[in-house]
Structure 1
Amino acid sequence: MKFIVLAGGSGTRLWPLSRKNFPKQFLKLHPQEAESFFQKTLKRLSFYEEAEFFVVTNNKHKFYVINQIEEISKKLKNDPKFEIILEPDSKNTAPAIALAIRYAMEKGVSQEEIFFVSPSDHLIKPDKEFIDYIKTAEQIAKKGHIVTFGIKPTRPETGYGYIKVRAPEIEKFFKVEKFVEKPDIETAKKYIEEGNYFWNSGMFAFKADTIIEEFKQHAPQLGKIFEESYERVLNDFQTLPEISIDYAIMEKTQKAALIPVNIFWSDIGSWESLYEILEKDSQGNAVLAESINIETKESLIVGDKRVIATLGLQDTVVVETQDALLIAKKGECQKVKEIVKILSHKAAPLVEEHTTVYRPWGSFTLLETGHRYKIKRITVNPGQALSLQMHHHRSEHWIVVRGTAKVKIGEKEQFVHENESVYVPKSTLHRLENPGKIPLEIIEVQVGEYVEEDDIKRFEDLYGR
């Protein structure tokens, strides 16, 4: 079986922890967490024998995907193969899925092959039972059905889409009557009472020729993807409609089948849904922070480096990062997207990046910024190197605090050790490398009339940027 893993989403519903350039799927919720949501997805699906992954992402997230695959690879079962597919533009799930299938056809995968589509930011357990459901879906998909997993609702939830099925269940699946948008609370209660509605999990299984036929019939503009060369598809990708697979295919097809799935599932689509899955203390608080909570009940406390102290809170969400603080009443967190929208209109960097920004060579953390200066902590992973570059508007001073740096400034190369420093003048070619076995950490002080990230001219780069 081939797995299409969708890893290009922006994940802003968990702002301020999730940002557009480092979204939810790549997050580890706290420092003790061993794996990100994306890594958990790969680990879960790797239980399937002879799995091959087609990971769909974009250029902004390419190196997160590469680095996290490398990091998790030793923990994966059955030694799966990976292909990374870069969307030229974010166009929602239908174009992403069509692009992945077209890529697979380009690589010689048969149209008789079964594909399973999975988001990369859900929590599902236990893994082995989930694989059993996938094997059932595979058998049903071989008969020409487009299979989706339906989660039996445990509460009236306004944050999920629903799927209405026709009774009775036949051959381990229901026929789908219709897909339903996220409801208001009263409608959600009605769905629970009626009993023939399931949460839409966003997971699908189908034979390649089945979904290609449905694309051509119900979404002709996307169906043309399968008549063009892959190179032509990439060139024309921006002209494709921005549409979900639900709208493009599932709401129109007569081939939809639903398997009721009776295991733990959550898309962690809001802070409330995170609260639901976490362990609680004696007062019903879920805490991922160093905190002191007095007379605080039924609340979610998530923190970074500060100690969080609460007094007399109830049904409250508190999320602290290095540059933002969210305080909300439980039940209102679906409106986080309104905060993100306001910040986006202001072009605020709080939407795009954390104070820590990841690069293919490591990361940097903004420590302080002011008029004509910026201070960063830079971490370069063993064996990695920044590009050979130049800045026209700033000079830089590097102080090594851990490890050994190999530095090229102009024509001179040298090694710089702990508690040593070097100076990089404006308009001078330079490169920073880590030749050692441990992470290299330096403090960088930038000074100049312009200290933004776009004052960079690259001449050589290991990562093709």
Structure 2
Amino acid sequence: MKMKHSLYAVLLAGGKGTRLWPLSTDGQSKSFIRFAGRKALMQAVLERIKAVASRRRTVVVIDNAKTPLLKEFLQGIPKRNILIEPFGRNTAAAVGLAAIKLKAEDIMLVLPVDQFLEDVRDFEKTVGEGMRFIEKEPDKLLCLCTKPAYASESFGYVKIRSKVQGKVFSIDKFIEKPSLKVALKLIKKPNFLWNSGMFMFKAKTILNAMKKHAPLLYKNLQTINKTPSSIKGAYSRIKSISLDYQVMEKAKNVYCLKGQFRWHDIGKWTSLEKVLSSKGKKKDISGNICIGKTATLDVYDSLIYNTGSKTIGAIGLKDIIVVNTENGVLVCKKNEAERVRELVRRIKP
């Protein structure tokens, strides 16, 4: 599938991945980990986009601490396309940094690296439809959304309204990470979709939206030139806020592009469990996924992930996550997986 030359894939490789501790740490980002021996997420996303954007038309935004991890994936990506943030400032700053480095008419396909997509051909079709819409409506912003596979309090939702063109819909409202009780109601309604965190727009259009809805961010981005010190200076004045909060939820020219692909955000252990299950790592007869050296007795519906040389033995557990790596050991209930980030704050360096 060939795309017109104006499309750039912008890969957001930041994020600490603290909810996947102890596998993901400050020194070992989840984007570069080979989960259960599979491809690293960075490798997977580069393969996923090769039909829509060449390596020469791929931009990677990554914070300085993670750049050593990039080396094995850089082949074919121009050095000028590696945009190094002095420190993470969330997705609004990362997208803005990429936008000011590209030409005004370039179309940006923004993709967080820490996601997993099935049905790559459907993804390519979705991107193609997004391209056609942006070329026809260059002043519009697109959120890529997908049908919820299950109720989740970890993802944002979008309520769509009327069809505009093909799979493009107008948006009624954004709902940011609802309670599980609310999410259970939303997934029963066909007009509520997951907000995937993927976007499409022209560089000039997102910058104009930032100028209107996030003027301080825009002002600081305009001070950036070719020197690393200018980026550091700007970033020191930029608040860490997501693109959704800063721009997309405020702008009136935002539309939903409904994708048919199955989407997973690998943000926490229960999400990773779903990905492992979907990629052929079958659960045992008790509903467990066990990675590495493990032994279980009367254990049900649990995830045991062991990268160490010693065997993990578990008895009489249900709905539990057990993880062992060289960085530490995690034991928690599945319904507490969201709180791993909170736990990491308590762990002393």
**Same fold? TM cut 0.5:** yes
Matched letter for residue 339 of structure 1: L
Residues in 1 aligned to 2:224 and 2:28: alpha-carbon distance in whole angstroms = 32
Give the Å deviation of 1:324: 1.7
1:120-135 correspondence runs (5 A) = 120-135=113-128
89, 92, 110: which is aligned to 1:117? 110
Q: Given the alignment, which residue of 283, 289, 294 partners 1:291?
A: 294
Q: For structure 1, list consecutive stretches of 5 or more residues without a partner in the other structure.
A: 74-78, 105-109, 350-465
Deviation at 1:171, TM superposition (A): 3.1
Alignment deviations for residues 306-343 of structure 1 (CA, whole Å, 9 cap, x no partner): 21112222211111113421111121111111111212
Q: Is the Cα–Cα contact under 8 Å of residues 140 and 147 in structure 1 kept in the other structure?
A: no
Match of residue 339 from structure 2: 335
Shift in Å, 1:261:
1.5
Q: Which residue identity is paired with 1:223?
A: Y
Letter in 2 for 1:280: K
Alignment-derived partner of residue 171 in structure 2: 176
Structure with greater proportional strand content: 1
- The aligned residue for residue 265 of structure 2 is 267
Given residue 146 of structure 2, which amino acid in structure 1 is its aligned partner? Answer: I
Partner of residue 3, structure 2: none
**Corresponding residue number in structure 1 for 2:8:** 2
Q: Which residue of structure 1 aligns with residue 67 of structure 2?
A: 62
Residue among 151, 155, 160 paired with 2:155: 160
Instruction: Please give the residue correspondences for 1:51-450 in structure 2 after superposition, counting only pairs within 5 Å.
Output: 52-65=57-70, 67-70=71-74, 73=75, 81=78, 83-104=81-102, 110-142=103-135, 143=137, 144-168=139-163, 170-225=165-220, 227-230=222-225, 231=227, 232-277=230-275, 278=277, 279-305=282-308, 306-343=310-347, 348-349=348-349
Bigger mean CA offset, 323-332 vs 300-309: 323-332
Deviation for aligned residue 1:42: 1.2
Q: TM-score by structure 1 length?
A: 0.68
Question: Which structure has the bigger radius of gyration?
Answer: 1
Higher relative helix content: 2
Q: 2:294 is matched by which residue type in structure 1?
A: S
Letter of the aligned partner of 2:330 in structure 1?
L
* % identity of equivalent residues: 32
Question: What count of residue pairs does the alignment treat as equivalent?
Answer: 330
Aligned to 2:22: 16
Report the AA paired with residue 86 of structure 1: I
Residues 67-98 of structure 1 deviation map (CA, whole Å, 9 limit, x = unaligned): 2314xx4xxxxx66562111123211111111
1:47 deviates by 2.0
How far, CA to CA, are the matches of 1:288 and 1:137 in structure 2? 38
Unpaired runs of at least 5, structure 2:
1-6
Asked if the contact 1:47–1:128 (Cα under 8 Å) also holds between the matched residues in 2, the reply is no
The alpha carbon displacement at 1:227 in A equals: 4.1
Which one-letter code corresponds to 1:337 in the other structure?
R
* Structure 2 CA distance for partners of 1:257 and 1:291, relative to 1, 3 Å: same
Give a deviation string over 1:166-188, Cα, whole Å, max 9, x none.
13464321111222111111111
Structure 2 residue identity aligned to 1:287: C
- Say if 2:144 and 2:196, in contact at 8 Å, map to a contact too: yes
Matched position secondary structure for 2:125: helix
Match of 1:401 in 2: none
Question: What's the C-alpha RMSD, in Å, of the aligned pairs?
Answer: 1.8
**What is the SS of the residue equivalent to 1:319?**
strand
